[in-house]
Chain A
Amino acid sequence: MRLFFKRFLFFLIPILLMLGLAELYLRHVPTSYNIKEAQLTANSWNIELLILGNSHATYGLDPRLFSLSAFNIASVNQSLYFDKRITLKYIDELPKLKYVLISVDYHSLYFSDEGYRDTWSYYGYGINYKDSLSIATRLSYLYGYKGALALEFMKRSFQKKYRIIRSVDVDFDLDLDHPYTKGFVGKVNGPYLAETDNRDRAKFFNDIVRTSNERESVIADLEDFIDTLKKRNITPILITLPCYGPYRAYLDKTVMAQNTIDIQAICSKEQVRYWDYFTMPLDSIYFYNSDHVNEKGAAIVTKDVNRRIEELEKGEQVAGVLRK
Chain B
Amino acid sequence: MLFNSLGYAIFLPVVFLIYWFVTNKNLTLQNAFLLAASYFFYACWDWRFLFLLMFSTLLDFYTGIKIAQNEKRGRRLFWFWLSISVNLGFLGVFKYYNFFATSFAEAVRHAGFQVNPWTLKVILPVGISFYTFHGLSYVIDIYKKRIEPERNFIDYGLFVGFFPLLVAGPIERATHLLPQIKRPRTFDYNKAVDGLKQILWGLFKKIVIADTCAAYVNTVFNDPAHMPGSAHVLAAVFFAFQIYCDFSGYSDIALGTARLLGIELLRNFAFPYFSRDIAEFWRRWHISLSTWFRDYLYIPLGGSKVGTWKKIRNVFIIFLVSGFWHGANWTFIFWGGLNALFILPSVIFKTNRNNLDIVAKGRLTPTFRELVSMVVTFGLTDLAWIFFRSKNIRSAFQFIGTIFSRSLFSRFPKEQLHTYFIIPLVCFLLIEWMGREEQYAIARLGLRWPKAARWAAYYIIFFYITYFISGAPQSFIYFQF
Query: Which residues does A use to contact B, with CB under 8 Å?
Result: 1, 3-4, 7-8, 11, 14-15, 115-116, 134, 136, 143, 146-148, 151, 199, 203
A151 neighbours in B (Cβ, 8 Å): 467
Q: How far is the CA of A206 from the CA of B479 in the complex (A)?
A: 30
B189 neighbours in A (Cβ, 8 Å): 1, 3-4
Interface centre among A3, A11, A199, by most B CB within 10 Å?
A11
By the criterion CB–CB under 8 Å, are A4 and B469 in contact? no
Say whether B196 faces chain A, with CB atoms less than 8 Å apart: yes
Q: Which of A4, A146, A203 contacts B187 (CB 8 A)?
A: A4
Give 23 A-B contacts (CB < 8 Å), ordered by A residue. A1-B20, A1-B187, A4-B187, A4-B189, A11-B455, A11-B458, A14-B459, A15-B459, A15-B462, A115-B471, A116-B471, A134-B6, A136-B6, A146-B470, A146-B471, A147-B465, A147-B468, A147-B469, A147-B470, A148-B467, A148-B468, A151-B467, A203-B226
> Can you list the 9 inter-chain pairs with the closest CB atoms, starting with the nearest?
A147-B466, A147-B467, A136-B6, A1-B187, A147-B469, A4-B189, A146-B470, A4-B192, A146-B469
B469 neighbours in A (Cβ, 8 Å): 146-147
Say whether B477 faces chain A, with CB atoms less than 8 Å apart: no
Q: How far is the CA of A192 from the CA of B463 in the complex (A)?
A: 35
CB B30 to nearest CB in A, in angstroms, measures 15
A148 neighbours in B (Cβ, 8 Å): 467-468, 470
Q: How far is the CA of A119 from the CA of B223 in the complex (A)?
A: 29
Minimum CB distance partner of B10 in chain A: A136
A143 neighbours in B (Cβ, 8 Å): 6
Minimum CB distance partner of A10 in chain B: B455
B458 neighbours in A (Cβ, 8 Å): 11
Minimum CB distance partner of A152 in chain B: B467
Q: How many A-B residue pairs have CB under 8 A?
A: 36
Minimum CB distance partner of A142 in chain B: B466
B466 neighbours in A (Cβ, 8 Å): 147
Minimum CB distance partner of B415 in chain A: A200
CB B189 to nearest CB in A, in angstroms, measures 5
Say whether B82 faces chain A, with CB atoms less than 8 Å apart: no
Say whether B193 faces chain A, with CB atoms less than 8 Å apart: yes
B192 neighbours in A (Cβ, 8 Å): 4
Q: Restricting to B433-464, which residues have a CB under 8 Å from any CB of A?
A: 455, 458-459, 462
Q: A8 and B196 in contact (CB under 8 A), knowing A3-B189, A14-B459, A136-B6? A: yes
Minimum CB distance partner of B21 in chain A: A1
Q: How far is the CA of A146 from the CA of B6 in the complex (A)?
A: 12
Instruction: Bits for B198-233, please: 1 = Cβ < 8 Å to A, else 0.
Output: 000000000000000000000000010010000000
Q: How far is the CA of A68 from the CA of B223 in the complex (A)?
A: 47
CB A124 to nearest CB in B, in angstroms, measures 18
Q: How far is the CA of A148 from the CA of B462 in the complex (A)?
A: 13
Minimum CB distance partner of A119 in chain B: B471
Minimum CB distance partner of A115 in chain B: B471
Q: How far is the CA of A7 from the CA of B190 in the complex (A)?
A: 12
B468 neighbours in A (Cβ, 8 Å): 147-148
Q: How far is the CA of A8 from the CA of B6 in the complex (A)?
A: 19
A136 neighbours in B (Cβ, 8 Å): 6
B6 neighbours in A (Cβ, 8 Å): 134, 136, 143
B462 neighbours in A (Cβ, 8 Å): 15
A199 neighbours in B (Cβ, 8 Å): 226
Q: How far is the CA of A160 from the CA of B471 in the complex (A)?
A: 27
Q: How far is the CA of A4 from the CA of B196 in the complex (A)?
A: 11
Minimum CB distance partner of A1 in chain B: B187
Q: How far is the CA of A14 from the CA of B459 in the complex (A)?
A: 9
Q: How far is the CA of A151 from the CA of B420 in the complex (A)?
A: 13
Q: How far is the CA of A143 from the CA of B471 in the complex (A)?
A: 9
Q: How far is the CA of A1 from the CA of B17 in the complex (A)?
A: 11
Q: How far is the CA of A78 from the CA of B223 in the complex (A)?
A: 26
Q: How far is the CA of A4 from the CA of B192 in the complex (A)?
A: 8
A8 neighbours in B (Cβ, 8 Å): 196
A203 neighbours in B (Cβ, 8 Å): 223, 226
Task: Taking A1-B189, A11-B458, A203-B223 as given, write out 16 further A-B residue pairs in contact, using a Cβ cutoff of 8 Å, ordered by the A residue number.
Answer: A1-B20, A3-B189, A4-B187, A7-B193, A14-B459, A15-B459, A134-B6, A136-B6, A143-B6, A146-B470, A146-B471, A147-B465, A147-B469, A148-B467, A148-B470, A151-B467
CB B229 to nearest CB in A, in angstroms, measures 16
Q: How far is the CA of A146 from the CA of B193 in the complex (A)?
A: 27
CB A82 to nearest CB in B, in angstroms, measures 18
B470 neighbours in A (Cβ, 8 Å): 146-148
Minimum CB distance partner of A140 in chain B: B6
Minimum CB distance partner of B222 in chain A: A207
B467 neighbours in A (Cβ, 8 Å): 147-148, 151
CB A173 to nearest CB in B, in angstroms, measures 12
Q: How far is the CA of A115 from the CA of B458 in the complex (A)?
A: 32
Minimum CB distance partner of A12 in chain B: B462
CB B336 to nearest CB in A, in angstroms, measures 32
Interface centre among A143, A146, A147, A199, by most B CB within 10 Å?
A147
Q: How far is the CA of A134 from the CA of B466 in the complex (A)?
A: 18
B226 neighbours in A (Cβ, 8 Å): 199, 203
Q: How far is the CA of A115 from the CA of B462 in the complex (A)?
A: 26
CB B379 to nearest CB in A, in angstroms, measures 30
A7 neighbours in B (Cβ, 8 Å): 193
Q: How far is the CA of A14 from the CA of B456 in the complex (A)?
A: 11
Q: How far is the CA of A232 from the CA of B94 in the complex (A)?
A: 55
CB B426 to nearest CB in A, in angstroms, measures 19
Interface centre among B6, B196, B226, B466, by most A CB within 10 Å?
B466
Q: How far is the CA of A209 from the CA of B187 in the complex (A)?
A: 56
